[in-house]
């Protein structure tokens, strides 16, 4: 068992050690203000160098970034990272986004429809996943979490462009997601897939997040529709075995068995469903004016920083760091985005310190060449390098940049 006292001590040592090191490289750090600006500039430089590398993996024809084939939901995350950079004030990201947002909207949607047809020819069973949805929305498929990632990406695209086509796309995705509500383990709660094979908290937390974010963007007459869904999603989820609260720890565990409706043998959970939940609760607090949701987000953030980190740097628990597979390399960035949004709503110095420790470790210990970033933020770098671990690590740097601005 992890000792939280030891962790706290390590955390303090880490942050104290990090300060003079950064300040000494800055000759004009005589005031707190200048010091903060310089750090923000450094993170911006790192994020922009990493963006150059990210775009080398961008395929203009498919609108997707090269990672693990078909790089579908990962590309939604890469697009979200890009938009976060635009919002943090990167002129370089703005220039890239001006082309990439409309191109991805057109090309990735077409890819998904095409992919559906390809699967149809290859295997009738797999085709079921895509058959109905392609007509409704080019971003739909058989997986509620995939639709959630793309809904979030298009909400973000709407935020930086003001283009209502993207908001409408997110709303249509959410409408499709509501068909996943109601498992045979509870009246509420989301299925992970349209075939009803699996129940996983990432589908629930993204469902809540998308609903709450939409509630804060749609016209007044539609707001309660989304806010009500978000409240319903949270009320169901917090009572399920997939959410642990009590004894000072609040966090999302892993999925539950469809057969038993109980947690499996290894219920540790992952950083990303916690990140989606933090972001969703922040948005729900804004939508409803109820700060209880914000307090819950703080409790989750503190738990994750404690139980899913090593040397004060975010780390995926129970993952073989050398062979993280094809999903986990994307996860940590999602948590950092959630933390960044929580910090924007209700800043806490420990979040900024945590983000800086992650960003510094990513750059110093988890980088190959100029700006190629790997999956293990504690380092050392290991490949294969691709847009998934890379964009996830960028989220860590962007979070530090945003919080030091």
Ligand X SMILES: *[C@@H]1O[C@H](CO)[C@@H](O)[C@H](O)[C@H]1NC(C)=O
Q: How many chain residues bind ligand X (CB under 6 A)? A: 9
Please report whether residue 188 would count as binding ligand X according to CB under 6 A.
no
Beta bridge partners of 246: 249
Selected from 30, 184, 318, 326, the binder of ligand X by CB under 6 A is 184
Please report whether residue 99 would count as binding ligand X according to CB under 6 A.
no
Minimum CB distance to ligand X, residue 16 (Å): 48
Please report whether residue 107 would count as binding ligand X according to CB under 6 A.
no
Minimum CB distance to ligand X, residue 196 (Å): 4
Tell me the C-alpha distance between 336 and 403, whole Å.
Answer: 11
Give 31's DSSP letter: S
Selected from 261, 294, 327, 345, the binder of ligand X by CB under 6 A is 261
Which residue, 111 or 381, has its beta carbon nearer to ligand X?
A: 111
Minimum CB distance to ligand X, residue 241 (Å): 13
Q: How far is CA 244 from CA 63, 112, 184, 239, 298, in A?
A: 38, 36, 21, 9, 14
Selected from 59, 87, 163, 179, the binder of ligand X by CB under 6 A is 163
Selected from 105, 143, 150, 243, the binder of ligand X by CB under 6 A is 105
Selected from 259, 265, 322, 369, the binder of ligand X by CB under 6 A is 259
Q: How many CB atoms lie within 10 A of CB 120?
A: 16
Tell me the C-alpha distance between 33 and 15, whole Å.
Answer: 18
Tell me if residue 175 falls in helix, strand or coil: helix
Nearest 10 degrees: Cα torsion 176, 162, 52, 333: -50
18: its two tokens: 């990090």
Minimum CB distance to ligand X, residue 194 (Å): 11
The DSSP result for 127-170, as a single string, is: HTTTTTHHHH-TT--SBHHHHHHHHHHHHHHHHHH--HHHHHHH
Give 62's DSSP letter: T
Please report whether residue 165 would count as binding ligand X according to CB under 6 A.
yes
Side-chain-facing half-sphere of 388: CA atoms under 13 Å: 21
Contact 54, 375 (CB under 8 A): no
Residue list 223-242, contact with ligand X (CB under 6 A) = none
Q: How far is CA 353 from CA 17, 195, 332, in A?
A: 11, 43, 16
| Binding segment toward ligand X, per CB under 6 A, in 81-89, 111-119, 254-262, 345-353 | 254-262
Please report whether residue 196 would count as binding ligand X according to CB under 6 A.
yes
Helix then strand count (H, E) for the chain reads 15, 10
Please report whether residue 168 would count as binding ligand X according to CB under 6 A.
no
| Binding segment toward ligand X, per CB under 6 A, in 142-150, 174-182, 258-266, 383-391 | 258-266
Give 69's DSSP letter: T
Which residue, 79 or 231, has its beta carbon nearer to ligand X?
A: 79
Which residue, 103 or 368, has its beta carbon nearer to ligand X?
A: 103
Q: Decide: residue 5, CB within 10 A, 0-12 exposed, 13-18 middle, 19+ buried.
A: exposed
Tell me if residue 250 falls in helix, strand or coil: strand
Selected from 258, 286, 294, 299, the binder of ligand X by CB under 6 A is 258
Minimum CB distance to ligand X, residue 102 (Å): 4
Which residue, 163 or 368, has its beta carbon nearer to ligand X?
A: 163
Give 189's DSSP letter: E
Minimum CB distance to ligand X, residue 191 (Å): 9
Which residue, 257 or 368, has its beta carbon nearer to ligand X?
A: 257
Cα 111 to chain centroid distance, Å, stands at 23
Tell me if residue 321 falls in helix, strand or coil: coil
Minimum CB distance to ligand X, residue 133 (Å): 19
Please report whether residue 15 would count as binding ligand X according to CB under 6 A.
no
Tell me the C-alpha distance between 267 and 221, whole Å.
Answer: 40
Minimum CB distance to ligand X, residue 374 (Å): 33
Please report whether residue 244 would count as binding ligand X according to CB under 6 A.
no
Which residue, 30 or 106, has its beta carbon nearer to ligand X?
A: 106
Which residue, 157 or 371, has its beta carbon nearer to ligand X?
A: 157
Minimum CB distance to ligand X, residue 53 (Å): 25
Please report whether residue 110 would count as binding ligand X according to CB under 6 A.
no
- The site for ligand X (CB under 6 A) is made up of 102, 105, 163, 165, 184, 196, 258-259, 261
């Amino acid at each position: 068992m992890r000792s939280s006292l030891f962790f706290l001590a390590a955390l303090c040592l880490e942050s104290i050690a990090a300060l003079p090191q950064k300040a000494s490289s800055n000759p004009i750090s005589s005031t707190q203000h200048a010091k903060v600006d310089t750090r923000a500039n450094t993170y911006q430089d790192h994020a922009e160098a990493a963006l150059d590398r990210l775009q080398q993996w961008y395929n203009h024809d498919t609108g997707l970034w090269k990672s693990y084939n078909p790089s579908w939901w990962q590309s939604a995350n890469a697009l979200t990272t890009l938009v976060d950079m635009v919002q943090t004030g990167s002129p370089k990201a703005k220039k890239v986004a001006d082309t990439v947002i409309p191109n991805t909207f057109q090309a990735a949607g077409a890819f998904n429809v095409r992919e559906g047809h390809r699967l149809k020819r290859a295997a009738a069973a797999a085709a079921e996943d895509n058959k109905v949805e392609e007509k409704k929305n080019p971003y739909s498929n058989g997986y509620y979490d995939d639709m959630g990632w793309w809904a979030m990406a298009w909400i973000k695209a709407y935020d930086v462009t003001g283009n209502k086509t993207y908001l409408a796309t997110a709303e249509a995705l959410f409408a499709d997601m509501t068909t996943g509500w109601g498992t045979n383990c509870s009246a509420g709660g989301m299925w992970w897939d349209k075939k009803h094979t699996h129940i996983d908290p990432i589908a629930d937390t993204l469902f809540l997040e998308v609903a709450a974010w939409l509630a804060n963007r749609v016209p007044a007459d539609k707001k309660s529709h989304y806010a009500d869904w978000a409240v319903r999603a949270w009320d169901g989820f917090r009572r399920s075995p997939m959410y642990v609260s009590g004894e000072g720890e609040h966090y999302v565990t892993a999925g539950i068995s469809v057969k038993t409706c109980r947690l499996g043998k290894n219920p540790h959970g992952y950083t990303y469903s916690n990140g989606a939940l933090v972001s969703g609760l922040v948005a729900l607090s804004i939508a409803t004016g109820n700060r209880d949701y914000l307090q819950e987000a703080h409790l989750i953030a503190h738990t994750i920083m404690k139980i899913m980190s090593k040397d004060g740097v975010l780390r995926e628990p129970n993952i073989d760091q050398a062979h993280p597979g094809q999903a986990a390399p994307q996860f940590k960035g999602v948590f950092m985005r959630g933390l960044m949004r929580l910090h924007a709503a209700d800043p806490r110095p420990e979040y900024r310190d945590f983000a800086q420790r992650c960003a510094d470790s990513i750059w110093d210990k988890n980088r190959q060449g100029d700006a190629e970033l790997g999956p293990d933020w504690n380092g050392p770098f290991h490949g294969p390098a691709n847009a998934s671990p890379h964009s996830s690590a960028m989220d860590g740097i962007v979070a530090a940049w945003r919080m030091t601005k």
